[in-house]
Amino acid sequence: MVIFIRPVRVEYKVIHTLDYVLKADSTQGFGFSLKNGKPVFDHPSSEANYQWCLAHPDEVECMGESRDVYSLKLSAVGICECGQEIELTDDSCGCSLCPYCGRWHSPLGQEVAPPETWKDGFVMFWYEVPAETF
Ligand SMILES: [Zn+2]
Protein backbone atom coordinates (compact mmCIF):
# COMPACT_ATOMS: atom_id res chain seq x y z
CA MET A 1 0.00 0.00 0.00
CA VAL A 2 1.31 3.39 -1.00
CA ILE A 3 1.67 5.97 1.77
CA PHE A 4 0.19 9.15 0.36
CA ILE A 5 2.21 12.35 0.56
CA ARG A 6 -0.07 14.49 -1.59
CA PRO A 7 -3.56 13.72 -2.91
CA VAL A 8 -4.70 14.39 -6.45
CA ARG A 9 -5.31 18.08 -6.87
CA VAL A 10 -6.24 20.55 -9.54
CA GLU A 11 -4.35 23.79 -9.89
CA TYR A 12 -5.76 26.78 -11.67
CA LYS A 13 -3.84 29.45 -13.47
CA VAL A 14 -5.38 32.72 -14.55
CA ILE A 15 -3.89 34.41 -17.59
CA HIS A 16 -4.70 38.04 -18.31
CA THR A 17 -4.14 39.33 -21.82
CA LEU A 18 -4.62 42.58 -23.67
CA ASP A 19 -6.32 41.76 -26.94
CA TYR A 20 -6.31 43.49 -30.29
CA VAL A 21 -8.22 42.42 -33.39
CA LEU A 22 -7.60 43.38 -36.99
CA LYS A 23 -10.34 45.68 -38.29
CA ALA A 24 -10.09 44.00 -41.70
CA ASP A 25 -10.58 40.52 -40.18
CA SER A 26 -11.88 40.32 -36.64
CA THR A 27 -11.00 36.61 -36.47
CA GLN A 28 -7.32 37.55 -36.33
CA GLY A 29 -5.34 39.68 -33.96
CA PHE A 30 -2.91 39.76 -31.10
CA GLY A 31 -2.95 38.91 -27.42
CA PHE A 32 -0.33 40.25 -25.07
CA SER A 33 0.22 38.79 -21.62
CA LEU A 34 -0.37 41.22 -18.78
CA LYS A 35 1.35 41.36 -15.43
CA ASN A 36 0.08 43.90 -12.93
CA GLY A 37 -1.94 45.43 -15.75
CA LYS A 38 1.05 46.00 -18.03
CA PRO A 39 2.11 43.99 -21.08
CA VAL A 40 5.04 41.64 -20.61
CA PHE A 41 6.92 40.21 -23.54
CA ASP A 42 8.61 36.84 -23.65
CA HIS A 43 9.94 37.39 -27.15
CA PRO A 44 11.20 40.48 -29.03
CA SER A 45 8.69 39.93 -31.83
CA SER A 46 5.88 40.08 -29.30
CA GLU A 47 6.96 43.53 -28.19
CA ALA A 48 7.32 44.59 -31.84
CA ASN A 49 3.74 43.43 -32.49
CA TYR A 50 2.53 45.42 -29.49
CA GLN A 51 4.31 48.54 -30.72
CA TRP A 52 2.80 47.98 -34.15
CA CYS A 53 -0.69 47.82 -32.63
CA LEU A 54 -0.11 51.08 -30.76
CA ALA A 55 1.14 52.75 -33.93
CA HIS A 56 -1.72 51.51 -36.13
CA PRO A 57 -5.04 52.28 -34.42
CA ASP A 58 -6.59 52.54 -37.88
CA GLU A 59 -5.84 48.86 -38.51
CA VAL A 60 -6.49 47.28 -35.11
CA GLU A 61 -9.06 47.68 -32.40
CA CYS A 62 -8.13 47.22 -28.76
CA MET A 63 -10.64 44.85 -27.19
CA GLY A 64 -9.34 45.40 -23.68
CA GLU A 65 -8.29 42.85 -21.14
CA SER A 66 -9.46 39.25 -21.21
CA ARG A 67 -9.06 36.53 -18.66
CA ASP A 68 -8.57 32.83 -19.29
CA VAL A 69 -8.49 30.18 -16.60
CA TYR A 70 -6.50 27.02 -17.17
CA SER A 71 -6.64 23.94 -15.00
CA LEU A 72 -4.08 21.23 -14.54
CA LYS A 73 -4.70 17.93 -12.77
CA LEU A 74 -1.72 16.91 -10.66
CA SER A 75 -1.36 13.23 -9.81
CA ALA A 76 -1.25 11.99 -6.26
CA VAL A 77 2.23 11.39 -4.87
CA GLY A 78 3.16 8.69 -2.40
CA ILE A 79 5.82 6.35 -1.12
CA CYS A 80 5.79 2.92 -2.77
CA GLU A 81 6.40 -0.26 -0.81
CA CYS A 82 9.96 -0.12 -2.22
CA GLY A 83 10.56 3.19 -0.45
CA GLN A 84 10.66 5.40 -3.55
CA GLU A 85 8.48 8.45 -4.11
CA ILE A 86 6.10 7.87 -7.02
CA GLU A 87 3.22 9.54 -8.81
CA LEU A 88 -0.05 7.66 -8.89
CA THR A 89 -1.26 8.26 -12.40
CA ASP A 90 -4.11 6.51 -14.13
CA ASP A 91 -2.34 6.14 -17.43
CA SER A 92 -2.51 2.33 -17.71
CA CYS A 93 -5.98 0.86 -17.27
CA GLY A 94 -6.54 3.23 -14.35
CA CYS A 95 -3.37 2.10 -12.61
CA SER A 96 0.25 3.17 -12.44
CA LEU A 97 3.55 1.36 -12.53
CA CYS A 98 6.31 2.09 -10.03
CA PRO A 99 9.35 2.81 -12.24
CA TYR A 100 11.68 1.62 -9.46
CA CYS A 101 10.33 -1.79 -8.48
CA GLY A 102 7.69 -2.65 -11.10
CA ARG A 103 4.74 -2.85 -8.70
CA TRP A 104 1.34 -1.76 -10.00
CA HIS A 105 -0.98 0.41 -7.91
CA SER A 106 -4.61 1.45 -8.12
CA PRO A 107 -5.47 5.16 -7.80
CA LEU A 108 -6.17 4.45 -4.11
CA GLY A 109 -2.61 3.21 -3.61
CA GLN A 110 -3.37 -0.50 -3.33
CA GLU A 111 -0.97 -2.86 -5.02
CA VAL A 112 -2.66 -4.67 -7.92
CA ALA A 113 -1.63 -7.38 -10.36
CA PRO A 114 -0.06 -6.18 -13.61
CA PRO A 115 -2.82 -5.25 -16.11
CA GLU A 116 -1.56 -7.79 -18.65
CA THR A 117 -2.48 -10.58 -16.21
CA TRP A 118 -6.06 -9.43 -15.72
CA LYS A 119 -8.51 -12.09 -16.86
CA ASP A 120 -10.66 -9.81 -18.97
CA GLY A 121 -7.91 -7.44 -20.03
CA PHE A 122 -9.02 -3.87 -19.59
CA VAL A 123 -11.29 -3.47 -16.57
CA MET A 124 -13.02 -0.20 -15.84
CA PHE A 125 -13.85 0.28 -12.20
CA TRP A 126 -15.41 3.05 -10.22
CA TYR A 127 -14.90 3.97 -6.66
CA GLU A 128 -16.69 6.42 -4.47
CA VAL A 129 -14.96 9.04 -2.42
CA PRO A 130 -17.00 10.03 0.64
CA ALA A 131 -18.45 13.51 0.21
CA GLU A 132 -17.07 14.62 3.59
CA THR A 133 -13.54 14.37 2.18
CA PHE A 134 -14.17 17.47 0.04
ZN1 LIG B 1 8.18 0.79 -6.05
| Ligand 1 centroid distance, CA of 48 (Å) | 51
Residue pair 50/56 in contact (Cβ under 8 Å)? The answer is: no
Check whether 134 has a pLDDT greater than 80.
Answer: no
- Predicted pLDDT of residue 127: 53
Between CA 37 and CA 42, with CA 39 as vertex, the angle to 5 degrees is: 135
> Quick one: pLDDT band at residue 107, thresholds 50, 70, 90?
confident
Better pLDDT: 94 or 12? 12
Q: Which of 42, 30, 34, 29 minimizes the C-alpha distance to 15?
A: 34
| Ligand 1 centroid distance, CA of 12 (Å) | 30
| Ligand 1 centroid distance, CA of 125 (Å) | 23
| Ligand 1 centroid distance, CA of 16 (Å) | 41
Q: Where are the domains of the chain?
A: 13-72, 77-133
| Ligand 1 centroid distance, CA of 132 (Å) | 30
Residue pair 88/107 in contact (Cβ under 8 Å)? The answer is: yes
| Ligand 1 centroid distance, CA of 126 (Å) | 24
Separation CA 32–CA 61 (nearest Å): 14
Q: Please state, in angstroms and as integers, the Cα–Cα distance from residue 45 to each residue in 2, 18, 38, 58, 78, following that order.
A: 48, 16, 17, 21, 43
Check whether 120 has a pLDDT greater than 80.
Answer: no
What's this model's pTM, rounded to 2 decimal places?
0.56
Mean pLDDT across the chain: 89
| Ligand 1 centroid distance, CA of 113 (Å) | 13
For residue range 31-44, list pLDDT tens digits in order.
999 999 999 998 99
Separation CA 52–CA 64 (nearest Å): 16
Q: Which of 73, 68, 49, 44 minimizes the C-alpha distance to 60?
A: 49
Percent of the chain topping pLDDT 70 = 89
Check whether 117 has a pLDDT greater than 90.
Answer: no
